């Protein structure tokens, strides 16, 4: 019999004195919740569907389509894949139990905002969500910070929303929806959004979700299973948006804009940097506005960790981060309460140095969001 020594963990409760900023948690909005905050005539439509049942992010006329594997057989399971957080009190309690200090709020249903086809309706829902969020959810005092949702259907309206909430103490950034998005975020039609965000010194965060939709990269109906669709949707969406943004000059047109990406894991970033730099050797003429190779711009992108990959040897995660120079840009995210959330304790096991762990668990997020350790805007 041999006792196996712990790998590197010398003390437990690593996070006891460490600030933990969770850059991706999800509120649960519903048509009934948003209706009172919604402009007419769209308020009537939300009231009309207030009692529609949902399985998981799939209310018709609000978040159409499926995001819960409903394109295949559904066998019984106890995996709690449809957890929802309905109030800020519930969120604060549950984040406490995850040892999280500050939480950055994303929506649930509005993760699929781009799949709505009706421009004015989508813009109205976005405006209603922003009003509702600051009224019911955000609270710097309680460590719940909000993101302004940018409606992709109407970038001018989105820019107005950014201006409207830019000085709100609880709204610290802009959420850029990616699920089912067409065109991708590099398209010049979105420049009003980036202009507003850069002007008001608010960072932007791209966030996707799994959908099946007739646009790249969501035309995933050819896959047999949700495992295949979920493997590809988030990550291919984030990668293709970054490719579009680099190759259309978003990073050079808006040099002071801080960009972050969510819920795609981290292990793809070294590949994307290397691949784009290789392409640049041959096709610089395609991107004459770039002054540096593509990875130069990608290294400025902040990257949220969830769903963090789980290699057998967690030291591989340290190597991955080194490959994309991520020590100062990688930010912990749990994705609470979603089905594939990451508990912060997973990061206690990754053999970072203490300094890097502090950065990943909180300090990088403070810099990205430009807030202090209490969530107050600087």
As measured in angstroms, the least distance from the Cβ of 28 to another protein is 8
267 binds another protein (CB under 8 A): no
Q: What angle do CA 20, 25, 30 make, to 5 degrees?
A: 155
77 binds another protein (CB under 8 A): yes
Handedness of CA 281, 282, 284, 286 (dihedral sign): negative
As measured in angstroms, the least distance from the Cβ of 10 to another protein is 11
Q: Rounded CA gap, 339 and 237, in Å?
A: 19
- Among positions 61, 64, 83, 244, the unique one binding another protein when judged by CB under 8 A: 83
367 binds another protein (CB under 8 A): no
84 binds another protein (CB under 8 A): yes
- Among positions 22, 25, 27, 30, the unique one binding another protein when judged by CB under 8 A: 30
Q: Rounded CA gap, 137 and 25, in Å?
A: 12
| Sheet strands (E) in 43-198 | 102-106, 144-149, 171-177
Stretch touching another protein by CB under 8 A, among 37-45, 285-293, 311-319, 352-360:
311-319
Q: Rounded CA gap, 24 and 336, in Å?
A: 7
As measured in angstroms, the least distance from the Cβ of 163 to another protein is 28
Binding mask 90-129 for another protein (x = CB under 8 A): x-xxx-xxxx-xx---------------------------
Restricting to residues 341-360, name those near another protein by CB under 8 A. Answer: 341, 343, 345-346, 348-349
* 30/63 with CB nearer another protein: 30
81 binds another protein (CB under 8 A): yes
* 30/364 with CB nearer another protein: 30
Tell me which residue has tokens 């990688």.
330
Q: Rounded CA gap, 73 and 339, in Å?
A: 18
Binding mask 143-162 for another protein (x = CB under 8 A): x-------------------
Handedness of CA 112, 114, 115, 121 (dihedral sign): positive
Instruction: Of 140, 151, 154, give the one whose Cα is nearest residue 107.
Output: 151
Instruction: Of 331, 326, 317, give the one whose Cα is nearest residue 364.
Output: 331
Token output for 378: 């600087």
Q: Rounded CA gap, 368 and 258, in Å?
A: 7
As measured in angstroms, the least distance from the Cβ of 265 to another protein is 14
Instruction: Of 322, 329, 279, 271, give the one whose Cα is nearest residue 300.
Output: 329
Restricting to residues 34-53, name those near another protein by CB under 8 A. Answer: 50-51
Q: Rounded CA gap, 284 and 294, in Å?
A: 10
How deeply is 11 buried, as exposed, middle or buried, from its count of CB atoms within 10 A (0-12, 13-18, 19+)? exposed
Stretch touching another protein by CB under 8 A, among 136-144, 166-174, 196-204, 252-260:
136-144
- Among positions 13, 156, 225, 353, the unique one binding another protein when judged by CB under 8 A: 13
373 binds another protein (CB under 8 A): yes
Token output for 289: 């506005």
What is the binding site for another protein (CB under 8 A)?
1-4, 6-7, 9, 12-14, 16, 19, 28, 30, 32-33, 50-51, 75-81, 83-87, 90, 92-94, 96-99, 101-102, 141-143, 312-314, 337, 339-341, 343, 345-346, 348-349, 373-375
């Amino acid at each position: 019999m041999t006792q196996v020594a712990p790998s590197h963990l010398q003390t437990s409760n690593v996070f006891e004195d460490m600030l933990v900023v969770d850059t991706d948690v999800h509120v649960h909005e519903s048509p009934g919740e948003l209706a009172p905050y919604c402009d007419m005539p769209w308020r009537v439509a939300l009231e009309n569907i207030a009692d529609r049942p949902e399985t998981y992010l799939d209310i018709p006329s609000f978040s159409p389509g499926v995001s819960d594997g409903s394109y295949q057989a559904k066998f019984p399971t106890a995996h709690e894949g449809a957890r929802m957080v309905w109030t800020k009190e519930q969120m604060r309690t549950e984040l406490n139990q995850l040892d999280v200090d500050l939480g950055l709020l994303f929506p649930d249903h509005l993760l699929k905002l781009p799949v709505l086809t009706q421009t004015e309706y989508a813009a109205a829902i976005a405006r209603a969500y922003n009003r509702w969020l600051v009224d019911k959810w955000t609270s710097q005092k309680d460590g719940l910070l909000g993101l302004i949702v940018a409606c992709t259907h109407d970038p001018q309206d989105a820019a107005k929303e950014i201006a409207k909430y830019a000085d709100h103490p609880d709204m610290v950034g802009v959420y850029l929806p990616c699920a089912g998005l067409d065109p991708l975020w590099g398209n010049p039609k979105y420049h009003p959004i980036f202009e507003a965000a850069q002007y008001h010194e608010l960072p932007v965060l791209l966030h996707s979700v799994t959908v099946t939709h007739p646009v790249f990269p969501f035309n995933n109906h050819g896959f047999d299973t949700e495992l295949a669709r979920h493997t590809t949707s988030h990550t291919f969406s984030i990668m293709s948006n970054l490719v579009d943004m680099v190759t259309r000059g978003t990073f050079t047109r808006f040099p002071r804009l801080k960009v972050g990406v969510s819920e795609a894991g981290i292990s793809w970033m070294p590949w994307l940097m290397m691949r784009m730099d290789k392409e640049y050797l041959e096709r610089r003429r395609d991107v004459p506005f770039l002054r540096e190779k593509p990875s130069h711009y990608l290294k400025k992108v902040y990257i949220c960790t969830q769903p963090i990959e789980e290699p057998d040897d967690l030291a591989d995660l340290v190597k991955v981060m080194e490959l994309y120079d991520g020590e100062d840009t990688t930010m912990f995210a749990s994705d609470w309460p979603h089905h594939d959330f990451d508990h912060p304790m997973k990061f206690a096991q990754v053999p970072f140095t203490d300094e890097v762990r502090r950065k990943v668990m909180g300090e990088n997020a403070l810099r990205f969001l430009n807030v202090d350790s209490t969530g107050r805007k600087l």
